[in-house]
Amino acid sequence: MTAVLGPLGVRVERGPAVLAAADDGPSLAAHRATHGELPGVALTPLLADLERVGLRGRGGAGFPFGRKLETAAKGRGRPTVVVNLSEGEPASAKDATLAMVAPHLVLDGALAAARVLGAREVHVVVPEADLQVRAAVEQALGERPRDRVRHVVHRADESFVAGQVNAVLELMAGRPNRPVTAWEPAAVSGHRGRPTLVSNGETYAQLGLLVLRGVRDHLSRGTTDEPGTTLLTLHDDGGKRVVEVAFGTPWKALLDPASLDRPVLIGGYHGTWAEAGRLRELTVSRSGLAEADLTLGAGVVLVPDGCPLWFARSVTTYLAAQSAGRCGPCRNGLPAVAEAFTRVVDGVGGLAELERLCGLVERRGACAHPDGTARMVRSALARFPEEVQRHTRGGCSEGGRPRA
Ligand code: SF4
């Protein structure tokens, strides 16, 4: 089955678990017909289940979700639950997809978390600029008057860093939706100083499915070490599509042969580059990718059509413009990195200067934006040394045309 999400232009394929009912419609009635009522759940058995399945956050950092939930449960004050659908990464479409095709799986996960934490509020952060997602969320929330929690919707700015957890907390506090320095994790002290469980849409959808279907169902997919499934946003010759795959699925089953033979940026704009052909031998696995010095991040996979350095340069220029401007190394350093990268790509500048500038921005920001940007730049330089040398001599294997 294939469903097309209208103007978003994203192809969504039915998946084995979270997207199993992707074409049944987003209504609560359709959701209940597939998954049934949300069963009662208590904190201790839920934490044990989360430990067994090893659920990690799907927003990019991959932090163990059970540990975050337990921290929030042990914190001082009544916890708050936040569903972060802001999806600042422009290449990612999985949370928008979930909001539109499976919103009640996400909201069931959030409700289960709220119940075990004793939370009275579930905050849902939607992208201001995405009218379809906003409408889908409003519609879904309108169908859930029996949840017995107060739903609060917030609209996030259209910015790469607007979805960062502290930027979300700032938005909820009525301040500019930008990251700030935080001295404690949100699960310890977040919204109004209370323990705050912030996770993205896919994480709550996975939690919802775990509560609805149980551990055995979750363990029936994936590998022994990494059970379950993950959502990916793939950009290749097949266009932009959101798929759900079991961990352990070979990349060669997901990408067409031509794409496998091209450089791939995996993990999104803060991700890492794989050389042409590198993914042929690898599977969708966080640990397997980490061994290959790659990161799955939020599950974005980009196969640019053209020179990877041109593409990496244009991503860097975009990321430099996304600095929230609070920290000097980020505000001034990232534009300098983008400029230096442009000089390297254009064959008129020094590679050493670019590497020096990357070193100056790393570990200097209040959030991970400078580090993620520098990681992507360094990865491009490390994975494509011959292309870099070609560019420093004024050449390009793609004839110098930025086709990406
Ligand atoms: S590192 Fe950059 S994006 Fe992050 S808080 Fe500082 S200025 Fe903002």
Q: What is the CATH number of the domain that holds 116?
A: 3.40.50.11540
Task: Decide whether any atom of ligand 1 lies within 6 Å of the 161 Cβ.
Answer: yes
Q: Are residues 68 and 204 in the same domain?
A: yes
User: Measured between alpha carbons, how far is 336 from 308 in angstroms, rounded to an integer?
Assistant: 20
pLDDT of residue 305: 86
Q: Which of 197, 219, 241 is the last residue of a domain?
A: 219
Q: Are residues 336 and 214 in the same domain?
A: no
Task: Decide whether any atom of ligand 1 lies within 6 Å of the 369 Cβ.
Answer: yes
Task: Decide whether any atom of ligand 1 lies within 6 Å of the 38 Cβ.
Answer: no
pLDDT of residue 6: 47
pLDDT of residue 60: 75
Q: Are residues 72 and 181 in the same domain?
A: yes
Establish if 351 belongs to a structural domain.
Answer: yes
Q: What separation in Å is there between the alpha carbon of 365 and the centre of ligand 1? A: 5
pLDDT of residue 404: 42
Establish if 345 belongs to a structural domain.
Answer: yes
Establish if 346 belongs to a structural domain.
Answer: yes
Helix (H) or strand (E) run with residue 274 in it: strand 272-274
Cα distance between the two ends of the chain:
29
Give me 28's structure tokens. 């609560």
Establish if 27 belongs to a structural domain.
Answer: yes
pLDDT of residue 248: 97
Structural domain of 383: 308-392
pLDDT of residue 41: 93
* Secondary structure tally for the chain: helices H, strands E: 17, 11
**Candidate of 157, 269, 369, 373 to mutate for ligand 1, largest count of ligand atoms within 8 Å of Cβ:** 369
Task: Decide whether any atom of ligand 1 lies within 6 Å of the 320 Cβ.
Answer: no
User: Measured between alpha carbons, how far is 230 from 172 in angstroms, rounded to an integer?
Assistant: 28
For ligand 1, atom 4, the nearest C-alpha belongs to: 367
Verdict on whether the full-model pTM lies above 0.85: yes
Q: Atom of ligand 1 at shortest distance to CA of 324?
A: 8
Establish if 294 belongs to a structural domain.
Answer: no
In 3-state terms, what secondary structure has residue 300? strand
Which region, left, alpha or beta, applies to residue 192 given φ > 0 means left and ψ of -120 to 50 means alpha? left
Q: Which of 160, 191, 219 is the last residue of a domain?
A: 219
Residues contacting 143, CB < 8 A, separation 6+:
27, 28, 104
For ligand 1, atom 8, the nearest C-alpha belongs to: 324
Establish if 239 belongs to a structural domain.
Answer: no
Q: Are residues 313 and 208 in the same domain?
A: no
Give me 196's structure tokens. 């705050």
For ligand 1, atom 6, the nearest C-alpha belongs to: 327
Task: Decide whether any atom of ligand 1 lies within 6 Å of the 326 Cβ.
Answer: yes
Task: Decide whether any atom of ligand 1 lies within 6 Å of the 88 Cβ.
Answer: no
Q: Are residues 55 and 179 in the same domain?
A: yes
Q: Are residues 210 and 317 in the same domain?
A: no
Residues contacting 133, CB < 8 A, separation 6+:
85, 96, 99, 100, 126, 127
Q: Atom of ligand 1 at shortest distance to CA of 178?
A: 8
**Candidate of 89, 161, 171, 337 to mutate for ligand 1, largest count of ligand atoms within 8 Å of Cβ:** 161
User: Measured between alpha carbons, how far is 202 from 245 in angstroms, rounded to an integer?
Assistant: 13
Establish if 21 belongs to a structural domain.
Answer: yes
For ligand 1, atom 1, the nearest C-alpha belongs to: 365
Q: Are residues 69 and 207 in the same domain?
A: yes
Task: Decide whether any atom of ligand 1 lies within 6 Å of the 330 Cβ.
Answer: yes
Q: Are residues 178 and 44 in the same domain?
A: yes
**Candidate of 168, 180, 330 to mutate for ligand 1, largest count of ligand atoms within 8 Å of Cβ:** 330
Question: How many structural domains does the chain have?
Answer: 2
Q: Are residues 166 and 36 in the same domain?
A: yes
Give the neighbor-by-neighbor strand order of the sheet with 229-236: 2-4, 11-13, 239-246, 229-236, 300-302, 264-266, 272-274
CB–CB of 82/198 below 8 Å?
A: yes
Helix segments in 22-150, DSSP class H:
28-35, 43-53, 65-74, 94-101, 103-117, 131-142
Q: Which of 219, 244, 267 is the last residue of a domain?
A: 219
Establish if 81 belongs to a structural domain.
Answer: yes
> For 238-280, how does the pLDDT look when each residue is reduced to its tens digit (9 = 90+)?
788 999 999 999 999 999 999 999 999 999 999 999 999 999 9
Block means of pLDDT (10 residues each) for the chain, 404 residues, are: 60 92 91 95 97 91 93 95 94 94 97 98 96 96 95 95 94 94 92 96 98 97 96 90 96 93 96 96 95 94 93 96 85 94 90 94 87 96 94 83 48
Residue 148 φ then ψ, to 5°: 60, 35
**Candidate of 178, 270, 371 to mutate for ligand 1, largest count of ligand atoms within 8 Å of Cβ:** 178
CATH number at residue 377: 1.20.1440.230
Q: Are residues 101 and 211 in the same domain?
A: yes
Give me 40's structure tokens. 């009662």
Q: Are residues 341 and 208 in the same domain?
A: no
Q: Are residues 353 and 206 in the same domain?
A: no
